[in-house]
Structure 1
Amino acid sequence: MEWNAIIEFINPELLIVVAACWIIGYVLKQTPRIPDWTIIYAVTVVAVAFAIVMLGFTPQSVLQGILCGAVAVYGNQLVKQAKKSGDE
């Protein structure tokens, strides 16, 4: 899948939210008391909150937040899997 196609769905002013969510996910992953399965939910909640603050409370801002969180997690997994396949 091409990143350009994915990025077209996200409001350009929210790309900083994607970067912030990526960092938040990384920090949560390094935290021993946080189970891995909760990271996706935490990142999504933070992304939706950021999107609502930046765009106002609308259904579109909630959807944009979900997309930002999803792209951050997907991008992280894509990088991890690419590194893992290179090690084999």
Structure 2
Amino acid sequence: MLDSILADITIHKALVLVVPAMMILEYALNQTPQCPGWLRIWILLGIGIIAGIFGIGFTVNGIANGIIATGISMAALQLIKQTLNRY
């Protein structure tokens, strides 16, 4: 049963717009000293899931796309930061 649900998850075109917006939000949260690091991840995950639900619908696919968008944005920003701050 779980296999059939997970097999139906497809990456939606709306992620093209959500990922850069979440990268900007993640950068802004990193500049906020009052926001601890563990909380930033949860804020971004919540916003990513909400964006997936609004963009695709309240389905497993929408929630999964929100989680995927969060992961892509966090990985991309880390890639940029670590590339620019090489030793």
Indicate the TM-score class for this superposition, using the shorter chain for normalisation.
0.7 to 0.9
Q: Deviation per CA, 1:33-68, whole angstroms, max 9, x where unpaired?
A: 100222111111101101101111000110000000
TM-score (norm 1): 0.81
Matched, 1:39 2:23: no
Structure-1 residue corresponding to 2:72 = 71
Cα offset, 1:14, TM superposition: 2.1
Please report how far the alpha carbon of residue 10 of structure 1 lies from its aligned counterpart in structure 2 after TM superposition: 3.1
Deviates more, 1:74-83 or 1:35-44: 35-44
Aligned residues with identical type, % of pairs: 31
**Structure 1: distance between partners of 2:20 and 2:83:** 19
Structure (1 or 2) with the greater helix fraction: 1
Corresponding residue of 1:4: none
User: AA paired with 2:80?
Assistant: V
Larger radius of gyration: 2
For normalisation by structure 2, the TM-score amounts to: 0.82
Structure-2 separation of matches of 1:25 and 1:10 = 21
Q: Secondary structure at the match of 1:82?
A: helix
- Taking only aligned residues, the RMSD between alpha carbons, in angstroms, comes to 1.2
Instruction: Show the 5 A alignment for 1:48-67.
Output: 48-67=49-68
Give SS of 1:12's match. Answer: coil
Q: In structure 2, what residue type is equivalent to 1:49?
A: I
Distance 1:67 1:16 in 2: 13
| Unaligned residue ranges in structure 1 (runs of 5+) | 1-8
